[in-house]
Chains A and B, each alone.
Chain A
Amino acid sequence: MEEFVENLKIRIGIENELLTINSRGFMVPAADLIVRDIIDDIVNKRIDISVLKKLIYGIQWEPHPAQLEVVTQPLNYLLVEKTMKMIRSYLGEVAGRKNLMIYAGSVHPIQSNPFPINGTHISISAVPKRRKYMPRKFLVYVHNNIRHYLPELIALTANSPIMSGEYSGYASTRLLYSRVLRPSRYAVIRRSKATIIPREKRATLKYAFIFTRNKRYEHKVVADRVGIRLLDITPRGPYTNIIEDYGSGPESSRVEIRFIDNPSTIDYLVDITYILLGIALEAIDHLRRGLKIADRKFLDENRIRAIKDGINASFIADDGEEAPAREYVIRMLENIEPYLDMLGVRLRTSLRRGIPEIEKFGKPKIETDHAELHRYLRQGKIFLKIRLSSNRSLITFSGTKESIKNRDLFGLVFPQYKLEWISFERNVVSTFQKIHISYWMLTNRGYIKIHPDDTVVSAITPIGVLTKIFSDIHKNLVG
């Protein structure tokens, strides 16, 4: 059995999105600045590019000004850890020069609402020794087997429960809001026309005509009827019906997995890569032994449940019975264990026991000094009259302090966030652990810190304030 693995050339590619944050943990539009510094390093030969270029395809800034993307070369699975460590420590070093940091998570707990969101895309290619490229059947089997375990994988990797400073109610807020992660369908090889290709653009189905093809028909791997590229799992390359891949060479044949929330640490990233690799090998083994990969009846429902509750979800079996997601996850890990043994790798993190990183590190805590105030702010009632519980000084706009005589104050209330995080690499924030919210009041003379025991006398919306002003003027006119 081990022979079949030896006869495979396995390559892994990783695309990892990251955010640039300041020393207080808040997102800043500095991706461009980091990339410029990297270019500067290359031009001035401060880094050895001859080593880097073998492992890393590129570092680029994304359309969002705080987002960076690291793309590796197709790597031997044993090089994933080394490569990711190297690139993250380098990015951390470059960010540190500007007094910045890199955030490795999926969703910024305060400033993502829901965008920007980060994801990790893992591409797997397995090529038989006598072939040059990943064959169509491999693409279909690997895709379908990963899709088969999709709810389990989401439950195991979901780690974005906070957005806009509040719990979203979902284990993976990223998957809930992502516009580019539509569910893929059960992949098949279909004989389809080579010259007329359905294409969906901006939610409208259109057709593309290609005049340069010699063949009238081709066998295509179809995971989506109209060849959408941005799915949660996508077979890629020229053997697929994805129009963007028509011009690519067969060496780009691979299965791309996009649904993974960014793992906080490289150890978790490596383990997830190994799990996916194990599933891919199981698929190829099924193909070798003539076994079929079944399409699960309640896959879509289980997927939604995994996004909502993560590892605490309960999945529905094909016979309608419900069981905890953790049981499914452990079963999946048991299924792939022999394949990981064949590869000579072992899972090192809590994932091997079916414990996701969010459970290991704990859900970030949100603490607010004044729950009532926060509720008013969420309702848009940002102008408040507050009765101070103790003597306080007002900090004027020029920075001087003045004592306040009046206990009842009217002004605009806004939050101050304090973020706490854990970090395993220098200048790289792995995950946020605590969000502490306190409040300030802005008056027309300066700022006053709100204490937890101050009481709210009244709260009003900005339009409410305007109405009051107009009413007062009206009273003066009538009076």
Chain B
Amino acid sequence: MPSSRRQDFPLNWKLIRHILSLYRDVNLALQELSGNPVKSDVAHIFERIINRLKAINTLGDNVSWYFFLYMQLGLHFLRSSPPKTVRQLKRFLVSVRNSLEKMIVSKGNIRLLRRKDIFIDLKNPTISLFVPDGFEDYIPGYRYIPGTVPVLLTAPHAMPPMADTNTGRIATIVAKKTSAYALISTIPRFIADHNRVIGRVWPFRRILENLVINRRIKLIVDLHATSRTGENLIEIGTWYGFSISKRDLTLLMRILDSKGISYGITSRFVGGDIIFYHSNIPIVGTIQLEISRGASKKEIRKIIRSLIEFINKLSGARKRWKNSLKT
């Protein structure tokens, strides 16, 4: 029988308490590592984290699965080569901290994730992550445009039927003009929706995660199209504001304003799983752009120009910042 909410509640509160304590300990470990770390102090904090994780693991099968939904898959593969240098360790801890932040924002349940994944039940691993028969035939299922600038454009719904019109074209043009990376799906969303939890095991998402780690991607621009944007030409999704830094978002908004492109940031288009899963502030920022299906050719050209300017300014600013650090 389905468990009632009343039964879930104490578990959620217990879980939230553990998550908050973990968050505190991970932050303490990061603080210790930032100064002149004393090995015994850091080891003591790690001991606390290990004990806390062991306690969480006793809360039930669902809790472990819940953690998995919020953690980056790549973190689990670190089991075979755990972080050794302080830099690697800090990067690992920041990723764990970000996942914990997402859990805290979600208040210990999966309602926010379910919002987008209403046609699968996220409580059951055997039906949350699965592939249809013929999976092998769909690999790789994406088109990759290599680049040099640490910005990645994604178009997960570029393939018809029910394609997000223009997204594949925009990603290609902008990537070529700015030397940014681009990933464009070649599988229809009816076979695999890369912007959902279920899509995390597909090559599109795996290569996305590998690019973020290996090519040091700083920003993912996830392109979509919708017929429900209302008056705006673009709806910006930032997963309730924590997927992108304020500086990058302000820069984009300033450029859109200067080009006369109407945009909005509403709770309706908060972003899908790509935005949610890959955001890892301050290392990686993510932003979703829902472009109106009713946009004219002229407006699409304007959007392309805005994105080119945004990526150029962003990479220029980063270069300047890096140079200033060197000097």
| Chain A residues near B (Cβ < 8 Å) | 22, 24-30, 33, 64-66, 98-100, 110-111, 113-114, 116, 164-165, 176-177, 374, 377-380, 382-383, 395, 397-399, 410-412, 414-419, 436, 440, 442-444, 447, 449, 461-474, 476-478
Q: Which of B85-126 contact A (CB under 8 A)?
A: 89, 92, 96, 118-121, 123-126
> B190 touching A28 by the CB < 8 A rule?
yes
> A461 touching B61 by the CB < 8 A rule?
yes
> B46 touching A116 by the CB < 8 A rule?
no
> B207 touching A397 by the CB < 8 A rule?
yes
Additional A-B contact list (11), CB under 8 Å, known A110-B127, A463-B56 = A22-B190, A114-B2, A380-B61, A383-B76, A395-B136, A397-B206, A399-B139, A414-B130, A466-B53, A466-B71, A472-B79
> A397 touching B140 by the CB < 8 A rule?
yes
Given contacts A380-B62, A397-B206, A473-B89, whether A410 and B126 have CB atoms under 8 Å apart is no
- Bound complex: CA A64 to CA B144 (Å): 34
> A415 touching B130 by the CB < 8 A rule?
yes
Residues of the A chain whose Cβ atoms lie less than 8 Å from the Cβ of B129: 382, 412, 414
> B76 touching A440 by the CB < 8 A rule?
no
Q: Quick one: which of A64, A99, A417, A471 contacts B119, CB cutoff 8 A?
A: A64
> A463 touching B50 by the CB < 8 A rule?
no
- Bound complex: CA A470 to CA B53 (Å): 9
Given contacts A33-B161, A379-B61, A463-B63, whether A113 and B191 have CB atoms under 8 Å apart is no
Given contacts A399-B140, A477-B42, whether A467 and B132 have CB atoms under 8 Å apart is no
Q: Quick one: which of A28, A30, A463, A476 contacts B64, CB cutoff 8 A?
A: A463
Mask: chain B, 197-221; 1 = CB below 8 Å from A; 0 = not: 0000101001100100000000000
Q: Is B73 an interface residue (CB 8 A)?
A: yes
Least Cβ–Cβ distance between A194 and chain B, in angstroms? 37
Q: Quick one: which of A24, A444, A478 contacts B191, CB cutoff 8 A?
A: A24
Q: Quick one: which of A380, A397, A462 contacts B210, CB cutoff 8 A?
A: A397
Residues of the B chain whose Cβ atoms lie less than 8 Å from the Cβ of A412: 73, 76, 129, 201
> A477 touching B80 by the CB < 8 A rule?
no
Residues of the A chain whose Cβ atoms lie less than 8 Å from the Cβ of B20: none
Please name 22 pairs of A and B residues whose Cβ atoms are closer than 8 Å in the assembled complex, sorted by A.
A22-B191, A26-B132, A65-B119, A98-B161, A110-B127, A111-B119, A111-B127, A113-B127, A116-B119, A378-B125, A380-B68, A399-B203, A412-B201, A414-B130, A416-B133, A442-B73, A462-B68, A464-B64, A469-B78, A473-B89, A474-B47, A478-B39
- Bound complex: CA A464 to CA B68 (Å): 11
Least Cβ–Cβ distance between B187 and chain A, in angstroms? 11
- Bound complex: CA A414 to CA B43 (Å): 35
Q: Is B131 an interface residue (CB 8 A)?
A: yes
- Bound complex: CA A451 to CA B312 (Å): 49
- Bound complex: CA A399 to CA B134 (Å): 14
> B82 touching A27 by the CB < 8 A rule?
no
> A466 touching B43 by the CB < 8 A rule?
no
> B131 touching A165 by the CB < 8 A rule?
no
- Bound complex: CA A416 to CA B133 (Å): 6
Q: Is B325 an interface residue (CB 8 A)?
A: no
Residues of the A chain whose Cβ atoms lie less than 8 Å from the Cβ of B130: 110, 414-417
Q: Is B74 an interface residue (CB 8 A)?
A: yes
Residues of the A chain whose Cβ atoms lie less than 8 Å from the Cβ of B57: 461, 463-464, 467
> A440 touching B121 by the CB < 8 A rule?
no
Q: Quick one: which of A25, A465, A471 contacts B76, CB cutoff 8 A?
A: A465
Q: Is B263 an interface residue (CB 8 A)?
A: no
Q: Quick one: which of B43, B76, B83, B133 contacts A462, CB cutoff 8 A?
A: B76
Residues of the B chain whose Cβ atoms lie less than 8 Å from the Cβ of A99: 161, 190
Q: Quick one: which of A380, A410, A417 contacts B80, CB cutoff 8 A?
A: A410
Residues of the B chain whose Cβ atoms lie less than 8 Å from the Cβ of A461: 57, 61, 64-65
Least Cβ–Cβ distance between A159 and chain B, in angstroms? 20
